[in-house]
Amino acid sequence: MRTHFITNRNEIDAILKKCKTCYVGMSIDDEPYVLPMNFAIDGDRVILHSAQHGRMWETIKKNPKVCINWTLGEELAWQDVQVGCSYRVKSKSVNIEGTAEIIEDDVEKERLFKQFMTQYSDLPFKFSAPAIRNVGVFIVPITKITAKEFGAKAVTPWNR
């Protein structure tokens, strides 16, 4: 099994576009917490939304540093079905680190909601004023991004 770094941002964005869920890791008082969430990418920022209360919201307010993971693919492969060490899971993974920023401005929240929906649909959407007001929106500017492909076959002169 080989692991390859992915450095091309277009390839990273293609992975993110295929994903429907990300996993947001956060921590407060050395207590880690991870949640699956829907998301969208807005340039070099991740858009997330949630209720404006609860454990996640309180954690973000106290410690806005987060790590977000996306994983695409879970195909099991092997070289020899009877050799455990020859098994691998073929997947691609993206990790982003950044500091969450809560968005309070309703005009910006609505713009981000519309951008958010482009991750899941090509349809145009409208949002009511109460929906905008009552949902928490935060963005995570990307300060670090890494991506890898797992379980790829080794490239040798005879299997190119």
Amino acid at 50: S
pLDDT digits (tens, 9 = 90+) for 44-87: 999 999 999 999 999 999 999 999 999 987 666 666 667 666 66
For 35-54, give the DSSP string: EEE--EEETTEEEEEE-SSS
Give the per-residue pLDDT at 4.
Answer: 87
pTM for this entry: 0.84
The region, left, alpha or beta by phi > 0 then psi within -120 to 50, assigned to residue 104 is alpha
Write the CB contacts of 146 (distance below 8 Å, at least 6 apart in sequence): 5, 94, 95
Give the per-residue pLDDT at 26.
Answer: 97
Q: What is the CA radius of gyration of the chain?
A: 19
Reported as a pLDDT band with limits 50, 70 and 90, residue 151 is: confident
Instruction: Over range 109-115, report the average pLDDT.
Output: 90
What are the percentages of helix, strand and coil residues in the chain, rounded to 5? Answer: 25, 45, 30
CATH class of 2-152: mainly beta
Residues 19 and 70: their CA atoms lie apart, in Å, by 7
Instruction: Over range 150-154, report the average pLDDT.
Output: 67
Residue spans of the domains in the chain: they are 2-152
Please tell me which residue, 2 or 102, carries the higher pLDDT value. Answer: 102
Instruction: Over range 97-112, report the average pLDDT.
Output: 94
Residues 12 and 3: their CA atoms lie apart, in Å, by 15
Residues 7 and 39: their CA atoms lie apart, in Å, by 21
Instruction: Over range 96-107, report the average pLDDT.
Output: 96
